Every structure is written in structure tokens, then in C-alpha cells.
């Protein structure tokens, strides 16, 4: 069960009285996660996988335990499919640089992607003479809905990879990822899912989706900054070249040759962000205790409330599909006001944090919405209905005082 009043007490920053609606950028960190990281620094602060002494053994045990927690969380078949990265961006780059591209192959993505799942493919296209196809949302651009039939038309036997966001960071719209994955696999293509905005908010099951790669960020799901995950399906781990090689990634080294270790070690050269990974394990415990189904249900309720209250406001342009098709994020503009001015006014007048600008999605914001930016309010499970009401009241005041 989700007891919002109770969980809020776990977040030290909330005691300062802020209303934090910038969760799509990064979430807040609860006390149990901070405590777990402190435990590492105070009691077994040593390197992992390198020492025989008991501190190193304990650190390694906790580090690997976090990996097992991640594997259970996303329902991977094995913890060896879980690679620790620093964020979603690194995970996607690892796949882009690690797959063996051949001229004439094709990548399919969409125009609602975050830059981290877009410009990497532009670079692959330019470097290897690859065809890059971008699917536009169907119907109203402001709803951002991707249509499965468009993917049926574009994915063919030349397609090596379909790379798609699971939830848009601009609109919160949910992509029909399972259906698209099936189509991609019928043509022998791999599927990479950008789970930065889905994994923190709903149950994501890699076996149910059937995807080959899934990248997400710990810092958007109560874990520390510097923690992220890349899932690589077991059968593909040797198909992907690591981004970095060096200490910790090898099975053997001779004076003129080396053999890389198996996954996940082959992908984790150098000393990793140990405290952050252990913190990620604690964040997963925290989320699991609340229950991802409870989190999703509650957030959908907040999203619907926000949608209903905001679409009733005069002079507010809301960019959104029906709330049934989205989660957690509301993008909007107030008449001709600059989005940054609105964000600043919300901060100064009501202590409310939102994001403003292009949200690292210029092809979508500028190319499709034809805007220079939007304001984005994004929720998490510790936000309350009262906070949404206060946010809407603050918007009303801005409209009354700034809109002519």
C-alpha cells in the first residue's frame, strides 16, 4: 500500500517546504538510500572485485547484491544481463558504439525521442552509412501517439535495430513497445528500449516486452546520481563490444593479446560507482516495498487530476493525449509567455520546481510542436493532490498577473 503522508517523511528535501514537480529530470532521494550509501563509506569502503581482504569482500558482496536486485526488478533471466552504467545515455551509447554496423543496414526510431536516444543514431548513420528512419506520431502531434502500423511499414529485413522510448519525456505518452518489438523480431531486428521515464513509474518486465536492450537511470527512481543500468539479453552479450576496456574487464592478458571476461564484467572496466550502485540497490528495495503497481496506480490518478485541472484553465495550452495513455508528465504553455519566465515565477512565487525549455527533445518540440519550448510538470509517488491544487492555483495567479 502507498501511504503518501508516510513516505514523504523519508525525503529530507521535502521538509524544506518545496513542491517538487521536476521528477522527470531527476527524483529526490529517500533516507534509507542515503543511509545505505553512508553504511558503505563508514563500514566497508573498499574497491570491488579486487581484494581478498574482508572490506573488499563485503563491498563486492553488496555491489553484486544490488545487481541481483536490479535483475529481479526488471525480471531479467540472470544478473549477468545487468550492466551498471552511470545513466541511460551511457547505456544507449554503449549499444550504439558496440554493435557491429554494416553499410546499408537500417535503424528505426521516432521523432519523440530524447536526444540521448536520437543523436547517437545520427552519428551511427553518418559513420557507417546506415539508413535512419524516424517515425512521426500519428494524428495530433500534441498527443504524440506512435502507431504500430507505421512501424509495420518501415521495419524490414534490413533493419538491425529499433530504438524507442517507452515513455516520452515531453508528453508522458506510453509507446506500444510490446507490439513493435514483435514486429522487429519477425524481421530479425534488435530492440532497444529507452526506459528512463518508464522504469521509475511502472512495472517494466524485459521478458514480457521481449526487448534485447533496456537502458534506464537510477537517479530518476530514488537512487543517487551516477547510477544507471543497461540490460543486454544474455544471448547478445558477445555481440556488443564494450565502450571501455581495462582493469576488471578481462579474463586474461598476454604481452600482445587479451581476452575479455563474460558479461557483466566485460562491460564494467575500471572502478565503478560503488556507493551509487549500492544506493541503487537500496532504492529498488524502497520502491519494491511500496510496490510498482501501487506507484503506477497512484501516479495515473495524479496525472488525470493534473490534466483535468489544467485543461480547464483559460490561456493554457496543454500538450497531451488522453491521460489513460500517459503517465506522470504534463507539458504546457501559457499563452505567449516564455516557458522559462513561467518556471521562474512558479519557483519565486510558490516554491514550485518545474522544468522549462526543450527537454532535450528538439526534433519533437521545434520540428513537430513548432514551439521554442514548453513548461513541464512531472510527478512521482511522493507528490500529493494538494500539491497539484497549489500548482494549479499558482498558475492561475500567473495568468491573472502576466497574461494581457
Of 27, 29, 88, 263, the residue at the interface with ligand PLP (CB under 6 A) is 88
Give the cell for residue 287.
520502491
Distance, in Å, from the CA atom of 389 to the CA atom of 387, rounded to the nearest integer, reads 5
Distance, in Å, from the CA atom of 138 to the CA atom of 189, rounded to the nearest integer, reads 23
Of 217, 227, 378, 383, the residue at the interface with ligand PLP (CB under 6 A) is 217
* Shortest distance (Å) from residue 195 CB to ligand PLP: 8
* Shortest distance (Å) from residue 267 CB to ligand PLP: 16
* Shortest distance (Å) from residue 400 CB to ligand PLP: 32
Nearest CA-CA partner of 62 in 39, 80, 85:
39
Distance, in Å, from the CA atom of 259 to the CA atom of 56, rounded to the nearest integer, reads 25
Distance, in Å, from the CA atom of 64 to the CA atom of 249, rounded to the nearest integer, reads 15
CA distances from 158 to 152, 161, 224 (A): 13, 9, 40
Distance, in Å, from the CA atom of 115 to the CA atom of 111, rounded to the nearest integer, reads 10
Give the cell for residue 40.
558503505
Give the cell for residue 134.
524516424
Give, as ranges, the residues between 102 and 141 that touch ligand PLP (CB under 6 A): 114, 116-117
- Choice between 86 and 396, CB closer to ligand PLP: 86
E strands present in 243-362:
250-254, 257-260, 316-319, 329-334, 352-353, 355-357
- State the catalytic residue, choosing from 211, 222, 244, 360: 360
Does 174 help bind ligand PLP (rule: CB under 6 A)? no
Site string for ligand PLP, 22-41 (x = CB under 6 A): --xx----------------
- Please, are residues 270 and 247 in contact by the beta-carbon 8 Å criterion? yes
Site string for ligand PLP, 42-81 (x = CB under 6 A): ----------------------------------------
CA 85 to chain centre: 13
Of 89, 93, 303, 374, the residue at the interface with ligand PLP (CB under 6 A) is 89
- Choice between 175 and 263, CB closer to ligand PLP: 175
- Choice between 283 and 345, CB closer to ligand PLP: 283
Give the cell for residue 116.
540521448
* Shortest distance (Å) from residue 229 CB to ligand PLP: 11
Distance, in Å, from the CA atom of 243 to the CA atom of 137, rounded to the nearest integer, reads 32
- Choice between 24 and 395, CB closer to ligand PLP: 24
Does 197 help bind ligand PLP (rule: CB under 6 A)? yes
Is residue 360 among the annotated active site residues?
yes
CB neighbours of residue 393 within 10 Å = 12
Of 165, 227, 263, 303, the residue at the interface with ligand PLP (CB under 6 A) is 165
DSSP tag of 219: G
Does 374 help bind ligand PLP (rule: CB under 6 A)? no
- Choice between 30 and 224, CB closer to ligand PLP: 224
- Choice between 226 and 281, CB closer to ligand PLP: 226
Give the cell for residue 242.
564494450
- Please, are residues 192 and 213 in contact by the beta-carbon 8 Å criterion? yes
* Shortest distance (Å) from residue 231 CB to ligand PLP: 15
- Choice between 221 and 306, CB closer to ligand PLP: 221
SS3 at position 2: coil
SS3 at position 185: helix
* Shortest distance (Å) from residue 240 CB to ligand PLP: 18
Of 29, 110, 169, 175, the residue at the interface with ligand PLP (CB under 6 A) is 169
Q: Which residues bind ligand PLP (CB under 6 A)?
A: 24-25, 87-89, 114, 116-117, 165, 169, 194, 196-197, 217
Residues annotated as catalytic (active site), given as ranges: 360
Amino acid at each position: 500500500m502507498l501511504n503518501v503522508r508516510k513516505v514523504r517523511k523519508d525525503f529530507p528535501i521535502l521538509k524544506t517546504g518545496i513542491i517538487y514537480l521536476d521528477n522527470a529530470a531527476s527524483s529526490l532521494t529517500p533516507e534509507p538510500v542515503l543511509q545505505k550509501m553512508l553504511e558503505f563509506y563508514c563500514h566497508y569502503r573498499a574497491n570491488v572485485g579486487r581484494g581478498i581482504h574482508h572490506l573488499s569482500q563485503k563491498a563486492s558482496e553488496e555491489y553484486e547484491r544490488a545487481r541481483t536486485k536490479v535483475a529481479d526488478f526488471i525480471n531479467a533471466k540472470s544478473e549477468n544481463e545487468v550492466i551498471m552504467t552511470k545513466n541511460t545515455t551511457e547505456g544507449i551509447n554503449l549499444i550504439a558504439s558496440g554493435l557491429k554496423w554494416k553499410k546499408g543496414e537500417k535503424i528505426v526510431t521516432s521523432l519523440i525521442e530524447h536526444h540521448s536516444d536520437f543523436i547517437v543514431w545520427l552519428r551511427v548513420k553518418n559513420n557507417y552509412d546506415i539508413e535512419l528512419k524516424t517515425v512521426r506520431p500519428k494524428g495530433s502531434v500534441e498527443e504524440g501517439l506512435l502507431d504500430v502500423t507505421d512501424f509495420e511499414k518501415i521495419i524490414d529485413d534490413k533493419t538491425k535495430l529499433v530504438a524507442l522510448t517507452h515513455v516520452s519525456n515531453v508528453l508522458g505518452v506510453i509507446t506500444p513497445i510490446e507490439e513493435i518489438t514483435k514486429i522487429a523480431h519477425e524481421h530479425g531486428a534488435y530492440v532497444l528500449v529507452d526506459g528512463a521515464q518508464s522504469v521509475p513509474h511502472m512495472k517494466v518486465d524485459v521478458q514480457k516486452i521481449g526487448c534485447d536492450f533496456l537502458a534506464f537511470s537510477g537517479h530518476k527512481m530514488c537512487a543517487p546520481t551516477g547510477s544507471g543500468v543497461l540490460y543486454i539479453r544474455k544471448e547478445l552479450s558477445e555481440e556488443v563490444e564494450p565502450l571501455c576496456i581495462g582493469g576488471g574487464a578481462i579474463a586474461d592478458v598476454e604481452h600482445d593479446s587479451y581476452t575479455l571476461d563474460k558479461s557483466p564484467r566485460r562491460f564494467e572496466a575500471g572502478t565503478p560507482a560503488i556507493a551509487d550502485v549500492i544506493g541503487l540497490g537500496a532504492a529498488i528495495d524502497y520502491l519494491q516495498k511500496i510496490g510498482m503497481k501501487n506507484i503506477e496506480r497512484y501516479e495515473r490518478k495524479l496525472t488525470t487530476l493534473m490534466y483535468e485541472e489544467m485543461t480547464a484553465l483559460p490561456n493554457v495550452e496543454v500538450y497531451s493525449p488522453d491521460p489513460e495513455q500517459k503517465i506522470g508528465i504534463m507539458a504546457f504553455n501559457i499563452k505567449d509567455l516564455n516557458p522559462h519566465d513561467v518556471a521562474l515565477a512558479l519557483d519565486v512565487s510558490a516554491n514550485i520546481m518545474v522544468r522549462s525549455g526543450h527537454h532535450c527533445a528538439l526534433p519533437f518540440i521545434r520540428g513537430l510542436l513548432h514551439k521554442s519550448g514548453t513548461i513541464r510538470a512531472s510527478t512521482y509517488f511522493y507528490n500529493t493532490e494538494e500539491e497539484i491544487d497549489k500548482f494549479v492555483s499558482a498558475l492561475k495567479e500567473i495568468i491573472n498577473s502576466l497574461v494581457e
